[in-house]
C-alpha cells in the first residue's frame, strides 16, 4: 500500500487536504497523478518519503507520497 | 519607527524628520508611492537631481513576524520612465526599522565626483568616503565593510550602478551577511549611482515597540502557524521557486530561445528536482533550504555549490533559471549558476540581462546554448565595452541596436519567466503594471484557471494586483500569499497589536487600492496614457508553438484594469 497526501487547492473541486491509501503498483509519479485525476500542471512538487522526486520516478510499496501545490511565483 | 531620514547628496546635509500624519498608516510600497507623488516631479529625468531614491519600511517590518521585513526601494525608473518599487529579502529593512526609521530618502545630486556610503546607527547617520570601494563588486564591497563593521546590514551597488546602466540593481545582505538579495528591477541601482552613493550600512539592532505585546504574541502565533503549516511553504522549503521550471514547461510557458518557444529540451537538467539532487550530492556549502532573513519560517532560498562543494551562488531560483537558462538555451546548471553569480556581483538585474542576451542571441551575436559566449557577454557588460553597455541597458535597447523586433518587454522592462501567451493573467499584469513587465505586481500562475484561455484573466490579474499591494505595503514576502491568501484578518490583528490601532480588512483593501491608484497617477503625470499599457505585437501576433495561441486578452480589458485602479474601484467593471 501507498499513502497519498494531497494538499488542498490542487483539485478544482477539493478545497481541503485529502489523505488516502492506494494499492501499490509500479507506477511512475506521473502515472500516479493521472490515476488520481490530477493535472501535473496543478502540482508544484511531489515528495516521496519527504524527498522531492521527478515525474519519471517509480514508486515503491510502502511509499508515502505528498502532492504539493504550485507556488505563487519566483 | 517614526522618523524619516533625509539625506541631501549635494549639500551632504542629514536630517531626521518626524513622519507626517498622512504617512503614518502606510509603509513599504504604499509609502514610496505617496512620497514620490508628493515630492518628485513625475516628468523629471530619472538620473537627474530631481529624482529621489527611497527606502521605505513596511508596517510590520523590524518585528519578528516571519517574512515581513522586505526592503522596499523606489524611485522614478530610468528603465521604464515611470514609478518603480522593487523589494527584496535580506536584513537591511529590518535593521533600518529597528533604528527607528520609517523611510530613508536620498535626494539631489552631487556637483563633484566624490562618492560616499551612508552609515546609520541608532539616532546617528554619517556620510563616509567611498572612493576606495569604486569598481568593487557587491561581494568585495560587503567583505570590506564587514571588516570595518562585522555583522552590519548592507545594501549597495556594483560597478554597473556606478556606470548608470538602466538595468543596475541594488543588492542587500542576507542573514549570513552575503549580498545575495536584489532589488533588481527598474534600474534603481543607477539612481543610487547617480547620487554617488555606493551603499547603505546599518549598524546595530533592536526590538520594536509593541502597543499590545500580549495581543501581538497571540496574533503572531496564529500567523506563524498558518504560514508554517501551509503546503505551499513545504514546497518553498524543499524545492524553492525552482519548482516552477517543470510547471511552466508543462504549461508551455517556460521562456526558451528568446521567448520563441515555451518548452525547453533541457528542462530536466535545470528543474528544481535536479537542483535538489545536485546540492544534496555535492554537499559542502550547499543547502537545499536557506532563510534570507532571520526568523523566516518559509526558507525558500538555497545555496548552490560547485563540484568541490564551494558555494557558487545563493539563491539559484526560478526567474534566473528561466532567463539565464532556458531563454538562452543553456541547460548546464553550473553555467547558469555562474551567470547568476556574475550578475549578482556586478549587481545587474538577472531578468533584464537574460532577456537582453536572448535578444542578442536571436541577432546572431552568440548561439543559443553557448554558455561560454554568455559568460563572455557578461564580461563585456562588466568592462563597459560598447556591446556591454548596449546589453546592460536592457532588452529594448539591445533590440533597437540589433534590429530585432521580438523583444520581450513592456514599457521598457523585460518580462520575467512566464510567457504571457501561455499564462495570460501574468500577461495582463505585465501590460497593466505601472512598473513595466513585473510578475510580482500580480502573480497569477498558481490560480485555478485555464491559464492559456483569455477568459477571466483581467479579473484574476486585477484582484491579484490588489492583494499584492497590501502585502508590499506591510513589508511581506510574496511567498506568504500562498499560505495566507485572503485571510487578511491575520494581518489586521498583527497591525492592531503592533500599533494599538483598530483597523479591519476593508481598511487593508483600501490601503492596497490607494497604493495602486497613486502609482498609476504618478505615471499619468509622467505622461503615460492608456496606449502605453499594451502587449507588444510579437506576443499578440506571433503564435507560441505548443500552446498554439497568441496573447489575446483585448486592449479594452487592459484599459478597464487601468481605469479601475485610477478610479479606486473595488470591481473591474463599473
Contact assignment for A41 to B443 by CB distance below 8 Å = no
Write the CATH number for B295.
1.10.569.10
Cell 545582505: give the residue. B173
How distant is the Cα of B139 from the closest Cα of chain A, in angstroms?
Answer: 23
Instruction: Give domain status of residue A59, yes or no.
Output: yes
Q: Tell me, yes or no, whether B189 and B303 share the same domain.
A: no
Cell 508544484: give the residue. A44
B551 touching A (Cβ < 8 Å): no
pLDDT of residue A61: 96
Q: Give chain B's mean pLDDT.
A: 96
- At B44-83, the pLDDT tens digits run 999 999 999 999 999 999 999 999 999 999 999 999 999 9
Radius of gyration of chain B (CA): 22
Residues belonging to chain A with any Cβ–Cβ distance to chain B shorter than 8 Å: 7-9, 12, 17, 40-45, 47, 51-55, 66, 68-74
Of all residues in chain B, the one with the smallest CA distance to A68 is B231
Give contacts of A73 with chain B, Cβ < 8 Å: 241, 244, 318, 439-440, 443, 445-446, 478
Instruction: Give domain status of residue A18, yes or no.
Output: yes
- At B96-154, the pLDDT tens digits run 999 999 999 999 999 999 999 999 998 799 999 999 999 999 999 999 999 999 999 99
Tell me the pLDDT band of B292, cut-offs 50, 70 and 90.
Answer: very high
Disruptive mutation site among B231, B249, B441, B442 for chain A (greatest number of A CBs within 10 Å): B231
Q: Tell me, yes or no, whether B43 and B192 share the same domain.
A: yes
Tell me the pLDDT band of B362, cut-offs 50, 70 and 90.
Answer: very high
Return the half-sphere exposure (C-beta side, CA atoms, 13 A cut-off) of residue B302: 28
Residue range B158-184: mean pLDDT, rounded: 97
Is the pLDDT assigned to residue B516 strictly greater than 80? yes
Is the pLDDT assigned to residue B529 strictly greater than 80? yes
pLDDT of residue B320: 97
**Percentage of chain B surpassing pLDDT 70?**
100
Residue range B297-309: mean pLDDT, rounded: 96
B231 touching A (Cβ < 8 Å): yes
How distant is the Cα of A12 from the closest Cα of chain B, in angstroms?
Answer: 7
Write the CATH number for B515.
1.10.599.10
Closest by Cα among B553, B529, B555 to B456: B553
Contact B417, B336 (CB under 8 A): no
Q: Tell me, yes or no, whether B33 and B162 share the same domain.
A: yes
Q: B379: helix, coil or strand? A: helix
Q: Tell me, yes or no, whether B426 and B367 share the same domain.
A: no
Is the pLDDT assigned to residue B484 strictly greater than 90? no
Is the pLDDT assigned to residue A73 strictly greater than 80? no
Q: How many domains does chain A have?
A: 1
Contact assignment for B241 to A74 by CB distance below 8 Å = yes
B406 touching A (Cβ < 8 Å): no
Contact assignment for A7 to B272 by CB distance below 8 Å = no
Instruction: Give domain status of residue B407, yes or no.
Output: no
Q: Tell me, yes or no, whether B545 and B426 share the same domain.
A: yes
Query: Helix B457-474 crosses helix B555-566 at what angle (to 10 degrees)?
Result: 30
| Strand B153-156 to B197-202 pairing | antiparallel
How far is the C-alpha of A43 from the C-alpha of B42, rounded, in Å? 43
Instruction: Give domain status of residue A74, yes or no.
Output: no
Residue range A16-36: mean pLDDT, rounded: 93
Is the pLDDT assigned to residue A74 strictly greater than 90? no
Write the CATH number for A57.
3.10.20.30
Contact B72, B93 (CB under 8 A): yes
How distant is the Cα of B354 from the closest Cα of chain A, in angstroms?
Answer: 15
How far is the C-alpha of B511 from the C-alpha of B284, rounded, in Å? 45
Residue range B480-501: mean pLDDT, rounded: 92
Q: Tell me, yes or no, whether B365 and B473 share the same domain.
A: no
B278 touching A (Cβ < 8 Å): no
Is the pLDDT assigned to residue A11 strictly greater than 90? no
Instruction: Give domain status of residue A23, yes or no.
Output: yes
Q: Give the Cβ contact number of residue B85 at 10 Å.
A: 30
Is the pLDDT assigned to residue A12 strictly greater than 70? no
Instruction: Give domain status of residue B232, yes or no.
Output: no
Give contacts of A53 with chain B, Cβ < 8 Å: 273
pLDDT of residue A16: 75
C-alpha cell, B445: 500562475
Q: B272: helix, coil or strand? A: helix
Task: Name A43's bridge partners.
Answer: A69
Cell 520594536: give the residue. B208
How far is the C-alpha of A23 from the C-alpha of B414, rounded, in Å? 48
Residue in B241, B268, B451 nearest the CB of A71: B241
Residue in A42, A54, A74 nearest the CB of B273: A54
Is the pLDDT assigned to residue B291 strictly greater than 80? yes
Instruction: Give domain status of residue A52, yes or no.
Output: yes
CA B252, distance to chain mean position in Å, is 24
Is the pLDDT assigned to residue B388 strictly greater than 70? yes
Q: How many domains does chain B have?
A: 3
Give contacts of B268 with chain A, Cβ < 8 Å: 54
Disruptive mutation site among B234, B253, B319, B437 for chain A (greatest number of A CBs within 10 Å): B234
B26 touching A (Cβ < 8 Å): no
Q: Tell me, yes or no, whether B381 and B439 share the same domain.
A: no
Tell me the pLDDT band of B463, cut-offs 50, 70 and 90.
Answer: very high
B87 touching A (Cβ < 8 Å): no
Q: Tell me, yes or no, whether B473 and B334 share the same domain.
A: no
Q: Tell me, yes or no, whether B22 and B118 share the same domain.
A: yes
Tell me the pLDDT band of B539, cut-offs 50, 70 and 90.
Answer: very high
pLDDT of residue B443: 94
Instruction: Give domain status of residue A19, yes or no.
Output: yes
Beta-carbon contacts below 8 Å between A and B: 94
pLDDT of residue A8: 80
DSSP output for A2-47:
EEEEE-TTSSTT--S-EEEEE-----BHHHHHHHHT--GGGEEEEE
Q: Tell me, yes or no, whether B39 and B121 share the same domain.
A: yes
pLDDT of residue B331: 98
Instruction: Give domain status of residue B376, yes or no.
Output: yes
Tell me the pLDDT band of B1, cut-offs 50, 70 and 90.
Answer: low
- At B240-266, the pLDDT tens digits run 999 999 999 999 999 999 999 999 999
Q: Tell me, yes or no, whether B259 and B318 share the same domain.
A: yes
Tell me the pLDDT band of A72, cut-offs 50, 70 and 90.
Answer: confident
Contact B219, B494 (CB under 8 A): yes
pLDDT of residue B482: 81
Tell me the pLDDT band of B551, cut-offs 50, 70 and 90.
Answer: very high
Instruction: Give domain status of residue A37, yes or no.
Output: yes
Instruction: Give domain status of residue B274, yes or no.
Output: yes
Q: B92: helix, coil or strand? A: helix
pLDDT of residue A9: 75
Disruptive mutation site among A6, A7, A29, A72 for chain B (greatest number of B CBs within 10 Å): A72
Name the domain boundary from B202, B227, B251.
B202
Q: Tell me, yes or no, whether B188 and B335 share the same domain.
A: no
Residue range B261-283: mean pLDDT, rounded: 98
Structural domain boundaries, residue B79: 3-202
Contact assignment for B273 to A53 by CB distance below 8 Å = yes
Structural domain boundaries, residue A45: 2-69
Amino acid at each position: 500500500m501507498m499513502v497519498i497526501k494531497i494538499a488542498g487547492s490542487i483539485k478544482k473541486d477539493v478545497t481541503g487536504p485529502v489523505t488516502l491509501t492506494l494499492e501499490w503498483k509500479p507506477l511512475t509519479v506521473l502515472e500516479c497523478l493521472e490515476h488520481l485525476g490530477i493535472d501535473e500542471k496543478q502540482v508544484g512538487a511531489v515528495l516521496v518519503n519527504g524527498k522531492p522526486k521527478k515525474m519519471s520516478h517509480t514508486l515503491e510499496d510502502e511509499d508515502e507520497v505528498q502532492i504539493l501545490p504550485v507556488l505563487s511565483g519566483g | 519607527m517614526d522618523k524619516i531620514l533625509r539625506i541631501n547628496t549635494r549639500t551632504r546635509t542629514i536630517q531626521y524628520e518626524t513622519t507626517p500624519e498622512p504617512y503614518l498608516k502606510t509603509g513599504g510600497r504604499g509609502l514610496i508611492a505617496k512620497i514620490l507623488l508628493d515630492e518628485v516631479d513625475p516628468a523629471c529625468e530619472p538620473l537627474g537631481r530631481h529624482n529621489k531614491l527611497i527606502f521605505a519600511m513596511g508596517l510590520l517590518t523590524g518585528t519578528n513576524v516571519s517574512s515581513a521585513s522586505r526592503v522596499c526601494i523606489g524611485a522614478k525608473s530610468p528603465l521604464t520612465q515611470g514609478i518603480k518599487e522593487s523589494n527584496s529579502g535580506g536584513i537591511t529593512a529590518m535593521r533600518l526599522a529597528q533604528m527607528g526609521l520609517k523611510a530613508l530618502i536620498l535626494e539631489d545630486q552631487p556637483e563633484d565626483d566624490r562618492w560616499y556610503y551612508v552609515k546609520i546607527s541608532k539616532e546617528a547617520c554619517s556620510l563616509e568616503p567611498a572612493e576606495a570601494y569604486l569598481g568593487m563588486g557587491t561581494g568585495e564591497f560587503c567583505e570590506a565593510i564587514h571588516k570595518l563593521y562585522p555583522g552590519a546590514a548592507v545594501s549597495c551597488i556594483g560597478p554597473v550602478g556606478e556606470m548608470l546602466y538602466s538595468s543596475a540593481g541594488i543588492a542587500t545582505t542576507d542573514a549570513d551577511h552575503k549580498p545575495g538579495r536584489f532589488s533588481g528591477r527598474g534600474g534603481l541601482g543607477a539612481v543610487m549611482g547617480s547620487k554617488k552613493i555606493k551603499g547603505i550600512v546599518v549598524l546595530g539592532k533592536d526590538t520594536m515597540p509593541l502597543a499590545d505585546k500580549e495581543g501581538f504574541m497571540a496574533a503572531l502565533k496564529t500567523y506563524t502557524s498558518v504560514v508554517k503549516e501551509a503546503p505551499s511553504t513545504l514546497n518553498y522549503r524543499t524545492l524553492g521557486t525552482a519548482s516552477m521550471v517543470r510547471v511552466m514547461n508543462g504549461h508551455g510557458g517556460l521562456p526558451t530561445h528568446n521567448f520563441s518557444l515555451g518548452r525547453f529540451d533541457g528542462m530536466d537538467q535545470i528543474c528544481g528536482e535536479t537542483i535538489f539532487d545536485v546540492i544534496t550530492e555535492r554537499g559542502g556549502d550547499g543547502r537545499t533550504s536557506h532563510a534570507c532573513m532571520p526568523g523566516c519560517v518559509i526558507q525558500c532560498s538555497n545555496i548552490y555549490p560547485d563540484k568541490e562543494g564551494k558555494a557558487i551562488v545563493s539563491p539559484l531560483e526560478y526567474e534566473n533559471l528561466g532567463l539565464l537558462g532556458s531563454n538562452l538555451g543553456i541547460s548546464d546548471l553550473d553555467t547558469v549558476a555562474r551567470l547568476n553569480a556574475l550578475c549578482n556581483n556586478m549587481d545587474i538585474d538577472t531578468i533584464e540581462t537574460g532577456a537582453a542576451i536572448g535578444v542578442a542571441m536571436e541577432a546572431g551575436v552568440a548561439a543559443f546554448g553557448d554558455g561560454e559566449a554568455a559568460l563572455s557577454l557578461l564580461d563585456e557588460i562588466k568592462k563597459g565595452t560598447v556591446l556591454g553597455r548596449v546589453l546592460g541597458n536592457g532588452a529594448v535597447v539591445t533590440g533597437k541596436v540589433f534590429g530585432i523586433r521580438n523583444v520581450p518587454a513592456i514599457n521598457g522592462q523585460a518580462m520575467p519567466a512566464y510567457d504571457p501567451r501561455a499564462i495570460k493573467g501574468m500577461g495582463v499584469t505585465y501590460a497593466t503594471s505601472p512598473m513595466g513587465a513585473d510578475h510580482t505586481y500580480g502573480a497569477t500562475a498558481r490560480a485555478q484557471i485555464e491559464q492559456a484561455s483569455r477568459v477571466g484573466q483581467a479579473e484574476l490579474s486585477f484582484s491579484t494586483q490588489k492583494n499584492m499591494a497590501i502585502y508590499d505595503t506591510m513589508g511581506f514576502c510574496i511567498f506568504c500569499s500562498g499560505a495566507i491568501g485572503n485571510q487578511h484578518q491575520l494581518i489586521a490583528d498583527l497591525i492592531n497589536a503592533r500599533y494599538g490601532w483598530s483597523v479591519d480588512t476593508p481598511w487593508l483593501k483600501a490601503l492596497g487600492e490607494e497604493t495602486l491608484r497613486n502609482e498609476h497617477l504618478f505615471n499619468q503625470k509622467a505622461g503615460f496614457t492608456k496606449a502605453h499599457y499594451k502587449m507588444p505585437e510579437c506576443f499578440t501576433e506571433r503564435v507560441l508553438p505548443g500552446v498554439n495561441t497568441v496573447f489575446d486578452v483585448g486592449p479594452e480589458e487592459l484599459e478597464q484594469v487601468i481605469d479601475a485602479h485610477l478610479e479606486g474601484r473595488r470591481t473591474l467593471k463599473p
